[in-house]
Amino acid sequence: MPKIGGRAARAAERHWRGVVASEGLAAGTVFLLTPQERTADVAATTPHKERRRLKRAMEAARRDIARLIAKTPEPESAHILDIQLRILEDKTLIGPVHAAIAAGASAAQAWNATVAVDDAVDAPADAPYLTARDSDTRDVRDRVARLLLGRRPAVPPLGAILVAEDIGPTRFLEIDWSHGGGLALTGGSRSSHVAMLARAKGVPMLVGLAGGAGLVDGAPALLDAERGELVLDAPAAERAAFERRAIAFSERTGQVALYLPGPAVTAEGERVWVGINVAGPTDLDGLEPSHCDGVGLVRTEFLFQGAGRPPNERRQFEAYERIIQWAAGRPVTFRTLDGGGDKPIAGLSPENEPDPFLGWRGVRLSLRHPAVFRVQLRALLRAAALGPVRVMLPMVTSPDEVAAVRDLLDKVRRDLKTHRIGFGKVALGIMVEVPAAALAIEDFDADFYSIGSNDLIQYTLAVSRGARDLEALARPDHPAVLGLIERVVAHGLKTGCEVGLCGDMGGDPRYLDRLFDLGLRSLSVAPAALARVKAAIARIGRPQP
């Protein structure tokens, strides 16, 4: 966790940057939630008494969680809390605790020593691969530890801006959010259970908070989970402007939510396909499939991160199956591993690449490891027997890459046939996110194209995606970027090959008119952007007052 002490923040350091995990704006005072002290300072009595102590604490934890389930209306909360109840019943968790008690430890010592969860919660916030299970186990562990040690959790004042490294789902649900407030985490992840709960409850939330100073208890703060920043000690004019934006935000979200259930249709009645982008299976929890036309992008990297070695075919198949089943007949586009760049994959990405964004990324990395790639293609082909599946290649630069993948797919199909293993048909598409692919689009033998505006902007304008101070230069409406998009869309219209856009530009209502004018009729956006995108589409073609 970065240092969050210090007295007066210098003006330039008043602004902390973070990644938006749940949109919204909140003004309040900072409340620092420090990690819970888990030192087991309770002396052991007899093993029998310690086992009883543990049993009582676990029963109390169960009752706490059941109470939370009873009082939270959102189905996603109940589902997450249910997972915690199951963790408490997990025999593999309790066995070692009992063994440590039998060896002379107190219940608290045994619990803290054996319920091991990796506390290094510093997965980058824009690479949301922190496992939700770890965060849930950590939450359960801390609750039982608290009960064993007789400690009470800190109660933040109403409407506070909570700042912590990370918090567990039950801690989040215990806090009274009815008077506003928000959450800013120096760790955390957009796809964590807490982030899902924050979105469901409309609590503004940032993760990966970094870069400022002066973060002390009681500091007046503006949590801007639209632009991704936490501003401390803002001057009066900045506070007033923020208040105005907060009012506009709540009006807007109230209105746009009405568009969520219906199809995306312009004011002139033209239908636009709008799918969602998914960075992991937990992103779907609490989402209604009928609110979208399908999944336009599954970032399969979540399966490859943090594991130390690539996931086996069964693990991949099960993850793909879950998404296909969720989509209930709607098409799902799985992007093959987009490793490298800002997402190095242990064991696959070369060490010390001089410039990873121009190195072994996307389909290049997969083709460099054909044995690993083949496993992913096999799992995808098998999953395609369960519903409409499309396979999409990231970072394609040269037509040879597509040809090489077609060859590999043919080999995998032959192998599956030989072993009488069922598989389905897949369309093979490419991401258009390197200017070379857009410029030579006619040469790419793909079944569909999906414009990756995030990378297309970075590579066209030579502006790194991660450089926050260069953000103003990364203009989606730069003529060069629009020119490339126009070229790809025109080629699609001419040949009948479908063209969509799955980068963040598609989720930003400021650019939708323009994209529509260029002929684009297919978008895939972050689930949080779905309602506002449909609302913006409904305005396209509406006569101006």
Residues in the site for Mg ion, rule: CB under 5 A? Answer: 433, 452, 455
Q: Does 229 bind ligand PEP (CB under 6 A)?
A: no
Cα–Cα dist 276/399, whole Å: 27
**Exposure b/e, 66-103, CB count within 10 A at least 16 = b:** eebbeebeeebbeebbebbeebbeeeebbeebbebbee
- Based on CB atoms, which residue is closest to Mg ion, 170 or 524? 524
Minimal distance in Å, beta carbon 452 to Mg ion?
Answer: 4
Q: Which two tokens stand for residue 501?
A: 């856009």
Nearest CB to ligand PEP, comparing residues 165 and 455: 455
Among 14, 143, 299, 532, binds ligand PEP (CB under 6 A): 299
Which residue type does 114 have?
T
Q: Which is nearer to ligand PEP, 181 or 527 (CB)?
A: 527
Contact 174, 71 (CB under 8 A): no
Q: Tell the smallest beta-carbon distance from residue 381 to ligand PEP (Å).
A: 23
Please state, as a whole number, how many other Cβ atoms lie within 10 Å of the Cβ of residue 113. Answer: 14
> Among residues 15, 292, 369, 502, which one is catalytic?
502
Say whether residue 365 binds ligand PEP (CB under 6 A): no
Q: Which residues have C-beta within 8 Å of that of residue 337, sequence separation ≥ 6? A: 300, 301, 304, 345, 362, 365, 366, 372, 373, 376, 394
Active site residue 292: no
Asked whether position 433 contacts ligand PEP by CB under 6 A, the answer is: yes
DSSP letters of 170-183? HHHHHS--TT--EE
- Determine the residue with CB nearest Mg ion: 455
Rounded to 5°, angle at Cα 311 from 449 and 332:
30
Q: Which is nearer to Mg ion, 164 or 391 (CB)?
A: 391
Beta bridge partners of 223: 26, 230
With binding defined as CB under 6 A, does residue 452 bind ligand PEP?
A: yes
Helix (H), strand (E) at residue 163: strand 161-164
Part in contact with ligand PEP (CB under 6 A); list of ranges 57-65, 135-143, 450-458, 509-517: 450-458
- Residue 387: contacted member of Mg ion, ligand PEP, none (CB under 5 to 8 Å, by partner type): none
Annotate each residue in 482-521 with x if it binds ligand PEP (CB under 6 A) or - if it does not, as one string: --------------------xx------------------
Smallest separation, CB 230 to ligand PEP (Å): 24
Least distance between ligand PEP and beta carbon 155 (Å)? 39
What is the closest distance, in whole angstroms, from the C-beta atom of residue 396 to Mg ion in the complex? 11
Radius of gyration of the chain, Cα coordinates, nearest whole angstrom: 25
The number of angstroms, rounded, from the C-alpha of 341 to the middle of its chain's C-alpha atoms is: 18
C-alpha 456: how far from chain center:
21
CB 241 within 8 A of CB 260: no
Residue 197 near residue 76, CB atoms below 8 Å: yes
Minimum separation from the CB atom of position 452 to ligand PEP (A): 3
Binding partner of residue 136 among ligand PEP, Mg ion, none, CB cut-off 5 to 8 Å per kind: none
DSSP state of 12: G
Please state the closest distance from residue 339 (CB atom) to Mg ion, in A: 12
Provide the 8-state DSSP code for 209: E
In this structure, the dihedral spanned by the alpha carbons of residues 100, 106, 108 and 114, taken in order and rounded to 10 degrees, is -10
Helix (H, G, I), strand (E, B) or coil at 32: strand
C-beta closer to ligand PEP: residue 234 or 432: 432
Site string for ligand PEP, 18-57 (x = CB under 6 A): ----------------------------------------
> Among the options 15, 193, 292, 369, which is catalytic?
193
CB burial of 170-185 (b: ≥16 within 10 Å; e: otherwise) equals: bbbbebebeebbbbbb
Give the x/- contact pattern for ligand PEP in 313-352, rule: CB under 6 A: -------------------------x--------------
326/185 Cα distance (integer angstroms): 30
Per-residue x/- mask for ligand PEP, residues 269 to 298, rule CB under 6 A?
----------------------------x-
Nearer to Mg ion, 367 or 493 (CB): 367
Contact region for ligand PEP (CB under 6 A) — 13-21, 76-84, 246-254, 446-454? 446-454
Q: What are phi and psi of 138, to 5 degrees?
A: -65, -40
Q: Is 291 a catalytic residue?
A: no
Which are the catalytic amino acids?
193, 502
Q: Which residues of this protein are in contact with ligand PEP, per CB under 6 A?
A: 297, 299, 338, 433, 452-455, 502-503
